[in-house]
Amino acid sequence: MSQFSNEKRHSPPTSTCQCRPWRGSDATKEDEVETVWRPIFEGINLLAVLTNVGLAALFFYPERLFSAGDQLTTFLVAEHSILLLQAAVRLLIPSIPADVARIDLYNRHVLHVLHSTQLGLTMRKAPVGPHQLGP
């Protein structure tokens, strides 16, 4: 006998599983995760840039022979250049490509049409008034 013999074993549910509808880019859970993790990864990115440029400015061959003021100048110029390049890439390249946005818009349209059609069919089948209850 195993130590888990007293546990109840649950059978899988017998009812049909309702799948969550596809919500596209307006999903709140994904937005919540993005708002939590994006600043963390941007901070890690900034620390990586500062560390790598600092190591390059202090220990690479031509710069290690410079004075401390020249090394600081090299560090500041390189660090600002890389951060400006990252900001330019962020501004010039959209976070959602145009074809993906177009497909997302089309999917939303199709879902809207499907939901309207289903509601319209249900409304036509379901009208039961007091005059239809008795013989």
In contact, 75 and 64? CB cutoff 8 Å:
no
The answer on pLDDT for 123 being more than 50 is: no
CB burial of residue 57 (10 Å; 0-12, 13-18, 19+): buried
Residue 54 and residue 78 in one domain: yes
Q: Which domain holds residue 71?
A: 29-93
- pLDDT interval class at 61 (50, 70, 90): confident
Residue 62 and residue 108 in one domain: no
Residue 107 and residue 87 in one domain: no
Residue 68 and residue 88 in one domain: yes
How many angstroms separate the most distant Cα atoms in the chain? 103
Q: Is 17 part of a structural domain of the chain?
A: no
How many domains does the chain fold into? 2
The answer on pLDDT for 44 being more than 80 is: yes
Q: How much is the pLDDT for 15? A: 47
Residue 72 and residue 103 in one domain: no
The amino acid at residue 59 is F
Residue 46 and residue 72 in one domain: yes
3-state secondary structure of 127: coil
Token pair recorded at residue 71? 């090394």
- For 8-33, what is each residue's pLDDT tens digit? 555 555 544 455 555 554 556 666 77
pTM: 0.55
- pLDDT interval class at 47 (50, 70, 90): very high
Residue 78 and residue 112 in one domain: no
Distance CA 70, CA 64 (A): 10
Distance CA 62, CA 64 (A): 6
* Neighbouring C-beta atoms of residue 72, cutoff 10 Å: 14
Distance CA 42, CA 33 (A): 14
Long-range contact set of residues 107-111: C-beta below 8 Å, sequence gap at least 24: 107/22, 107/24, 108/24, 111/21, 111/22
Residue 75 and residue 101 in one domain: no
Q: Is 14 part of a structural domain of the chain?
A: no
Residue 87 and residue 36 in one domain: yes
